Amino acid sequence: MSKKILLEHAHIEGIETFDTYRKNGGYEALEKAIKTMSPEAVVEEAKKSGVRGRGGAGFPMGMKWGFLAKPEGVPRYLVCNADESEPGTFKDHYLMKTIPHLLIEGMIISSFALGANKSFIYVRGELMYVINILQQAIAEAKANGFLGKNILGSGYDLELVVHPGGGAYICGEETALLESLEGKRGNPRNKPPFPAVKGLYQCPTVVNNVESIANMVWIINNGGDAYAAVGVGRSTGTKLISASGHIKNPGVYEIELGLSVEEFMNSDEYCGGIRDGHHLKALVAGGSSVPIIPANLVYKTANGEDRLMSYESLSDGGFATGTMLGSGGFIVFDETACIVRNTWNFSRFYHHESCGQCSPCREGTGWMEKVLHRIEHGHGNMRDIDLLVDVAKKIEGNTICPLGDAAAWPVASAIRHFRDEFEWHVKYPKEATRPGAVYMGEAELV
Amino acid sequence: METKPDLLKITFDGIEVEVEAGTTIMQAARRIAEADASQGHLVPPAMCYYKPLEGSGGKCRACLVKVAQGSAKDTRPMPKLVPSCITMVQDGMVVENVTNPAVLEERKAIVEFLLLNHPLDCPICDQAGECHLQDFAYEHGSSNQRYEEERRTFEKHDIGPYIQLHMTRCILCYRCVYTADQITEKRVHGVLGRGDAAEISTYIEKSIDNDFSGNVIDVCPVGALTDKTYRFKNRVWFSKPVDAHRDCDKCSSHVTLWYRGEEVIRVTARKNEWGEVEEWICNTCRFEKKKTSDWIIEGPTKVLRSSVVSANKYRADTVKKPDFALRLANSQYKPIDDSRPFITDEETVRQLSIENNRKANERSAFENTEN
Amino acid sequence: MNQVAEPIAFTPERQKRVDQMIANYPEGRQKSALLPVLHVAQEQWGWLSSEVMDHVAKLLDIQPIEVYEVATFYTMFHLDPVGKNVIEYCRTGPCCLMGAEDVYSHLKQKLGIQAGETTPDGLFSLKEVECLAACGWGPVFQIREKYYMNLTNEKVDSIIEELSQ
**Residue C2 above 50 pLDDT?**
no
The A residues from 296 to 335 touching C (CB cutoff 8 Å) are 329, 331, 333
CA distance C47 to C30: 22
**Residue B164 above 50 pLDDT?**
yes
Of A185, A374, A387, the CB nearest to B146: A387
Of B188, B193, B194, the CB nearest to C65: B188
Helix axes of C34-45 and C12-23: crossing angle, nearest 10 degrees? 170
**Residue A45 above 60 pLDDT?**
yes
pLDDT tens, position by position, A209-259? 999 999 999 999 999 999 999 999 899 999 999 999 999 999 999 999 999
Would you place residue B6 in the very low, low, confident or very high pLDDT band (cuts 50, 70, 90)?
A: confident
Average the pLDDT over B168-176 and give the result.
Answer: 93
Tell me, what's the pLDDT at B234?
A: 85
Average the pLDDT over A100-118 and give the result.
Answer: 95
Would you place residue A158 in the very low, low, confident or very high pLDDT band (cuts 50, 70, 90)?
A: very high
Tell me, what's the pLDDT at C6?
A: 67
**Residue A435 above 80 pLDDT?**
no
Would you place residue B207 in the very low, low, confident or very high pLDDT band (cuts 50, 70, 90)?
A: confident
Of A89, A125, A181, the CB nearest to C32: A181
The answer to whether C104 touches C91, Cβ cutoff 8 Å, is yes
Tell me, what's the pLDDT at B358?
A: 86
Overall CATH class of domain A18-229: alpha beta
Tell me, what's the pLDDT at B364?
A: 74
Average the pLDDT over B180-190 and give the result.
Answer: 88
Would you place residue C12 in the very low, low, confident or very high pLDDT band (cuts 50, 70, 90)?
A: very high
Would you place residue C1 in the very low, low, confident or very high pLDDT band (cuts 50, 70, 90)?
A: very low
Q: Which stretch of A416-430, A431-445, B149-163 has the lowest confidence by average pLDDT? A: A431-445
Average the pLDDT over C88-111 and give the result.
Answer: 93
Cross-chain Cβ contact C73/A166 below 8 Å: yes
**Residue A25 above 60 pLDDT?**
yes
Tell me, what's the pLDDT at B367?
A: 67
Cis amide bond preceding A193, omega within 30:
yes
Of B190, B193, B194, the CB nearest to C65: B190
Tell me, what's the pLDDT at B261?
A: 83
Interface check C77 vs B, CB under 8 A: no
In the 3-class helix/strand/coil scheme, how is chain B assigned residue by residue?
CCCCCCEEEEEECCEEEEEECCCEHHHHHHHHHHHCHHHHHHCCCCCCCCCCCCCCCCCCCCCEEEEEECCCCCCCCCCCCEECCCCECCCCEEEECCCCHHHHHHHHHHHHHHHHCCCCCHHHCCCCCCCHHHHHHHHHCCCCCCCCCCCCCCCCEECCCCEEECHHHCCCCCHHHHHHHHHCCCCCCEEECCHHHCEEECCCCCCCCCCCCCHHHHHCCCCCEEECCCCCCCCHHHCEEEEEECCCCCCCCCEEEEEECCEEEEEEECECCCCCECCCCCHHHHHHCCCHHHCEEEEECCCCCCCCCCCCCCCHHHCCCCHHHHHHHHHHCCCCCCCCCCCCCHHHHHHHHHHHHHHHHHHHHHHHHHC
Average the pLDDT over B355-361 and give the result.
Answer: 82
Cross-chain Cβ contact A357/B149 below 8 Å: no
The answer to whether A47 touches A66, Cβ cutoff 8 Å, is yes
Cite the residue boundaries of each domain of chain A with CATH code 3.10.20.600.
238-334
Tell me, what's the pLDDT at A165?
A: 94
Contacts of B310 (CB under 8 A, 6+ apart): B303, B304
The answer to whether B45 touches B139, Cβ cutoff 8 Å, is yes
pLDDT tens, position by position, A336-373? 999 999 999 999 999 999 999 999 999 999 999 999 99
Tell me, what's the pLDDT at B363?
A: 76
Would you place residue B39 in the very low, low, confident or very high pLDDT band (cuts 50, 70, 90)?
A: confident
Tell me, what's the pLDDT at A186?
A: 93
Entry field: residues in chain B? 371
Interface check C150 vs A, CB under 8 A: no
Mean of the per-residue pLDDT values of chain A = 93
Average the pLDDT over A87-92 and give the result.
Answer: 94
**Residue A110 above 80 pLDDT?**
yes
Tell me, what's the pLDDT at B317?
A: 55
Work out the percent of chain B whose per-residue pLDDT is above 90.
47
Contacts of C68 in chain B (CB under 8 A): 190, 192, 203
Cite the residue boundaries of each domain of chain A with CATH code 1.20.1440.230.
339-432
Nearest to A242 by CA among A115, A349, A332: A332
Q: Which residue has the higher pLDDT, C91 or B4?
A: C91
Tell me, what's the pLDDT at C75?
A: 94
Alpha-carbon distance C72 to nearest alpha carbon in chain B (angstroms): 5
Domains of chain B: 7-108 (3.10.20.740), 117-300 (no CATH)
The angle formed by the CA atoms of residues C47, C50 and C55, to the nearest 5 degrees, is 95
Binding residue ranges of C for [2Fe-2S] cluster: 90, 95, 131, 135
Domains of chain C: 12-73 (1.10.10.1590), 85-164 (3.40.30.10)
Judge: domain A339-432, CATH 1.20.1440.230: yes
Cross-chain Cβ contact B204/C50 below 8 Å: yes
**CATH architecture under which domain A238-334 falls:** Roll (3.10)
pLDDT tens, position by position, A187-213? 999 988 999 999 999 999 999 999 999
pLDDT tens, position by position, B268-323? 999 888 889 999 999 999 999 999 999 999 988 877 555 566 554 555 555 566 67
Contacts of C130 in chain A (CB under 8 A): 85, 87, 169, 349, 352-353
Tell me, what's the pLDDT at A33?
A: 94
SS3 A77: strand
Report strand pairing: B7-12 vs B93-96: parallel
Q: Which residue has the higher pLDDT, B204 or B223?
A: B223
DSSP string, A160-228: EEEEE--S-GGGGSHHHHHHHHTTS--PPPPSSSPTTTS-GGGS-EEEEEHHHHHHHHHHHHH-HHHHH
Alpha-carbon distance A163 to nearest alpha carbon in chain C (angstroms): 7
